[in-house]
Amino acid sequence: MKQRGRYIILSFVMLVLGFLISFSYQLTNEKKEGHSLSSGQWKEEYKAREQLIGQEEENKKLQRELFEKQTSVRKFEESLKAEKQSYSTLVDQAEKYRMYTGETGVKGQGIQVTLKDASYVPEGENVNNYIVHEGHIFKVLNELLISGAAAVSVNGQRMFSDSYLFCNGPVVTVNGNQFPAPFVISAIGNPDVLEKALNISGGVIDQLAYDNVVVTVEKKDIRMDASLQDESTP
The alpha carbon of residue 158 and the mean position of all alpha carbons in its chain are separated, in whole angstroms, by: 30
Neighbour-count burial for 27-52, b at 16+ CB within 10 Å, e otherwise: eeeeeeeeeeeeeeeeeeeeeeeeee
* pLDDT confidence bin for 1, thresholds 50/70/90: low
- The CATH number given to whatever domain includes residue 133 is 3.30.70.1880
pTM over 0.75: no
CA 229 to chain centre: 33
Establish if 218 belongs to a structural domain.
yes
Has residue 175 been placed in a domain? yes
What are the φ and ψ backbone dihedral angles of 213, each rounded to 5 degrees?
Answer: -95, 135
**What's the pLDDT score for residue 145?**
93
Asked if the structure places residue 187 within a domain, the reply is yes
With respect to residue 50, please indicate whether it lies within any of the assigned structural domains: no
Contact 217, 111 (CB under 8 A): yes
Q: Which of 212 and 19 is assigned the larger pLDDT?
A: 212
Contact (Cβ atoms closer than 8 angstroms) between residue 149 and residue 188:
yes
| Helix 134-146 × helix 191-199 angle, to 10° | 130
pLDDT > 70 fraction of the chain, expressed in percent and rounded: 73
Each residue's pLDDT tens digit, 125-149: 888 889 999 999 999 999 999 999 9
Domain limits for position 151: 108-222
Query: 229: pLDDT confidence band, cut at 50, 70 and 90?
Result: very low
- 14: Cα separation from own chain's centroid: 101
Distances in Å between the alpha carbon of 146 and those of 23, 122, 149? 119, 35, 7
pLDDT at 234 over 60: no
Confirm whether 229 is domain-assigned: no
Domain count along the chain: 1
106-116 sheet: strands from edge to edge: 157-158, 151-154, 183-188, 106-116, 214-224
Number of Cβ atoms within 10 Å of the Cβ of 205: 22
What proportion of the chain, given as a percentage, has pLDDT over 90?
A: 34
pLDDT in tens, 42-82: 777 777 777 788 788 888 888 888 878 888 888 887 777 77
135, part of any domain: yes
Q: Which of 67-81, 94-108, 154-168, 176-190 has the highest mean pLDDT?
A: 176-190
Give residue 53's pLDDT.
82
Q: Residue 157: name the closest of 172, 136, 142, 135 by CA.
A: 172
DSSP string covering 25-93: HHHHHHHHHHH---HHHHHHHHHHHHHHHHHHHHHHHHHHHHHHHHHHHHHHHHHHHHHHHHHHHHHHH
